[in-house]
Amino acid sequence: MGAHPDVKEGEMRIGYDSGTDGVAVLTLDDGKANAMSVDWFHELAAALDRAEREAAALVIRGRDGFFSAGLDLKLLPTLSPDGLRNLSDTFARTMLRVHQLPIPAIAAVTGHAIAGGAVLAFACDLRFALGGPYRLQLNEVAIGIPVPAWMVHIADTVVPPRWRTQALLHARAFSPIEALERGIVDGLASSPEEVLAHARAAALPLTKLPRTAYAESKRRLRAEGAERALARLVGEGRR
């Protein structure tokens, strides 16, 4: 499922396919790097609302070659201080919502997943990646941004302790095979279509889990840490 025919190249589009087996698929495709903005987060939130109503599990996939390169860097210099704070707050709350989604969420990482793109992949419960010359990288420190507490919270649930210093402090870029070897992703595929097939195959048995038990268990695992991280948002934004 590609971009909507009425959407111009470079304009964000999040496609939604409800499927027939309880597994909904969100497709991120702006024709470029799937850059994130406040409007993009609002669109994602609307898609998450729909998935919570309709689906038993959710797959989030990117376009060929890019899952997402994170925040729209061309947009950032144009924002006022209030606009930047709004973007930071919306970014954090949206990613934490994915992380606490009451249904299983699987990432089909169809290429590069950098900065916010890596965070979105980490916010999902499982990750399947496209093999090839792609990067999975939290690059915040490398570009001069301290890693926020909410991002650390999400990454800590995915990156094994042995590799957290490299991933979070050293901004190391992992290739797909390196990410698999370190337990950061759960499987590799040789084409975007195969990545999606792996993600759907992993999601399908999860649709059989009792929804209430799944949702409450995920809340107990993740909500307290998310609340602590959100409480630090204002202070971190002043540094």
3-state secondary structure of 67: strand
Structure tokens, 124 = 């999902």
* Residue 140 is among the residues annotated as catalytic for this protein: yes
Task: Find tokens 């959710």 and name the residue.
Answer: 58
Q: How far apart are CA 53 and CA 30, in angstroms?
A: 25
| DSSP reduced 3-state for 184 | coil
Rounded distance between C-alpha atoms, residue 211 and residue 2, angstroms: 30
| Angle, alpha carbons 153-158-162 (nearest 5°) | 100
**Of the residues 140, 193, 216, 224, which is catalytic?**
140
Residues recognised as catalytic:
140
